[in-house]
A and B are shown apart, each in its own frame.
Chain A
Amino acid sequence: MISQPARKRLNIRMPALGGQGAVTAAHIIATAADYEGYYAVSNPFFGAEKRMAPAESYARIGIEPIYDRGEVVYPDIIMVFHHHVITMGKSYTMPFYSGIKRDGIIIINTDEELLKPEDYKKLESINVKVLNFPATKIAIDIAGTELSTNMAMIGVLFGATQIVGLPAIEEGIKSRFMKKFVASGGTASLDSALERKFKKKLELIEKNLNTAREAFNMALEWAKENGISPMLPPAPMKKQEPVQA
């Protein structure tokens, strides 16, 4: 049970490897939360990210204005994008869950168990739940490419936390791919690689949405099974439901 009714903020840390789209995921997560009516901020780890080297990004979602900036040292949620974060220590913090707050959640992209009994012992002592989730597998099954792993991770986050619904997630994904977006040269070239693979942008968005949706529903089920209630109070600036096209 989540025993912290006073929680006003979710700080999310996303350890990943360069090229997995964790920066894009943080961007979409914050955009979706903003669209849902929460205060939201996202930022990448500040450094020279390289393909397959450790890369982290962060999102903060809350019910009051967010001032806090920079790396999330004390997260409520940790989303591990790649098993190397755990198995090879490709993480900015050791262990990767250092700083996790009481009643938090750890989501790991894996189809096998990576944590040791002593890890579980530690995490259980502060009521942190662990969700092993095969995000890459789902991305390949649904979108046909592991490049959509980040979309699955977005879906699983919001399914597990139950704070942002599917319409807002769709809005976040659409705004990321429809609008001109400049993050860095590297991201631009990744985008064009993605586009080449999918040929059409709309097709790409649809596949991404489907991936996120599937992950969302699976995680929602997990949350209900584990008795996890929504991790934040309702959004303070809730919009009208968008009219579905």
Chain B
Amino acid sequence: MGNNGVYQGVNKSGQKIVSPDYMLFEAPREKVFMTGSEAVKEAVKRASVDASVSYPITPQSEAAHLIGELWVEGYVGVYFRGESEFGVMSEVAGCSMAGARVITTTSGPGTLRAMENFPMWAGSRLPIQLVLMARGVNSPLSIQPDNLEISFLLDTGCMIWHAENAQELFDMILAGFVVAEKTDVHVPIITAIDGFFISHTRESIMIPPEDIALPPYNPYVSPTPIIDAEIAPGRYIKDPFVMKSNYISYATHASWQWEVRAAIERSRPYAKHYLRGLIEEFGDSEAELVFIASGTAASQAKEATRMLLDEGIKAKVVKVKSIRPFPHQELLEATKTAKYIIVPEFNVVGWLEREVRASFYGKSNATIIGTPRVAGGMTMPPEIIYRDALKILGKEVSYVL
């Protein structure tokens, strides 16, 4: 790994600082066999993270414990357990306002408990990273896999990426900081996974050496003033403008909200580069049957696609990696040959199907079908997707289990 110009000194933990491109694309990688939670630790270890605040809730607890271990080992500067997810999301907001690169994790009911904070993060332009290990919310109590909570986050003003597996989560955590901290983006990044399916599953992933790390966060690239008394305070510091009741304040608040959404849009080229595209395609490029899916549903659809391809059916999966921003153009392009678009999901409302329908309205002639809908912790066997796909095509279900 000689001195090829990618090293730029050391970070506070003594790791060699490398460029994001080197970290994500060029550094040699070694195979390790670990859970998604352990992959979070490995990513945070290489991300020059300043602060993290934790709170227990299944299934994200283990990842939060492991970040605590990194604090003990000297890889994370500030770490403690907050009083609740509402408290935690406020504490990480404080950390970020004071100029730290921050990461935290939550799941299901915790996400909802913390909800008020997410638009505040976005409105305050805080590039906090939330690793969201989705699980059912208490409607009634469930601790099982279910990603309904992502639908609640769609309009918070946060970027949302959805990782399919531990490898993608590892890479997204690193890329997440890089993209979210760009001056012209500088909004929170939610890196979501389907809890348990990734957090608790052990698989092999490829990771770069542990003695290199991303460049530390430079808080002074923030488009709003950092609260550290090292720079002149703005007249309006991270404030909503509601305390002034006049037309200027209304217009300011409205344009501020638009600006947050525009900032998410401006993340596209960066996200495209560091994620190697906002979508990923798997299967027959001329497919008439296309699955649009994200997260674990994409995994299950890939297995079903293999089964369909074995039967001679032209099928493919278009995996959506970025939910916010939503890859409208990429999806239209990737489904040009599609007659049927099937959207399998791990929630009862079908939020991805809604997104696809809204995005495709008037632009695609394909029939969009949301199936299967698996929720409440149930698994989504590929055989079920395969069966549904054959039914849609009017074919006999010949596969014998």
Contacts and interface: CB of A to CB of B under 8 A. Distances in A.
Question: So, do A and B actually touch in the complex, CB under 8 Å?
Answer: yes
Interface of A: 26-27, 30-31, 34, 39-44, 46-48, 66-71, 73-74, 99, 101-102, 175, 182-184
Contact of B401 (A27, A31, A101): A101
A172 B33 CA distance: 11
B374 to A, nearest CB: 9
Nearest to B377: A46
B62 A41 contact: no
Contacts of A31: 33, 202
Contacts of B401: 74, 99, 101-102
Interface residues of B, number: 35
B379 A70 contact: yes
B33 A70 contact: no
B299 A73 contact: no
A117 to B, nearest CB: 23
B383 A74 contact: yes
A73 B303 CA distance: 14
Interface in B125-147: 143-145
A42 B381 contact: no
Contacts of A46: 59, 143-145, 196, 200, 377
Nearest to B66: A182
Contacts of B284: none
A182 B303 contact: no
A73 B200 contact: no
A41 B202 contact: yes
Nearest to A31: B33
Most B C-beta atoms less than 10 A away, residue of A40, A41, A67: A67
The 10 closest A-B CB pairs, nearest first, are A70-B379, A67-B299, A46-B196, A43-B201, A69-B197, A67-B302, A71-B379, A73-B381, A42-B202, A41-B203
Contacts of B62: 182-184
Contacts of A43: 196-197, 200-202
B143 A69 contact: no
Contacts of A71: 379
A41 B400 contact: no
Given A46-B196, A69-B197, A40 B143 contact: no
Given A68-B303, A69-B299, A73-B379, A48 B203 contact: no
Contacts of A74: 381, 383, 401
A27 B202 contact: yes
Contacts of B202: 26-27, 30-31, 41-43
Contacts of A68: 299-300, 303, 381-382
Contacts of A184: 62
Contact of A41 (B59, B65, B164, B201): B201
B337 interface: no
A177 to B, nearest CB: 15
5 contacts: A31-B33, A66-B203, A74-B401, A99-B401, A182-B62
Nearest to A8: B306
B335 interface: no
A31 B66 CA distance: 21
Interface string B31-44: 00100001000000
B86 to A, nearest CB: 24
A30 B381 CA distance: 20
Contacts of A67: 164-165, 298-300, 302-303
A69 B379 CA distance: 8
Given A41-B203, A46-B145, A47-B143, 6 more contacts: A40-B204, A67-B164, A69-B197, A70-B197, A101-B401, A175-B33
B23 interface: no
Interface in B194-213: 194, 196-198, 200-204
A66 B167 CA distance: 13
Contacts of B296: 69-70
B72 to A, nearest CB: 13
B193 to A, nearest CB: 10
Contacts of A70: 145, 196-197, 296, 379-380
A69 B381 contact: no
A13 B119 CA distance: 43
A182 B65 contact: yes
A48 B383 CA distance: 27
A236 to B, nearest CB: 13
A73 B62 CA distance: 26
Nearest to B61: A184
B64 to A, nearest CB: 11
A209 to B, nearest CB: 19
A70 B377 CA distance: 9
A61 to B, nearest CB: 12
Q: Among the interface residues B33, B194, B198, B380, which one has the most CB atoms of the partner chain A within 10 A?
A: B33
Contacts of A26: 202
Contacts of B300: 67-69
Nearest to A64: B306
Contacts of B299: 67-69
B320 to A, nearest CB: 15
B33 A30 contact: yes
A56 to B, nearest CB: 11
Contacts of A182: 38, 62, 65-66
A2 to B, nearest CB: 16
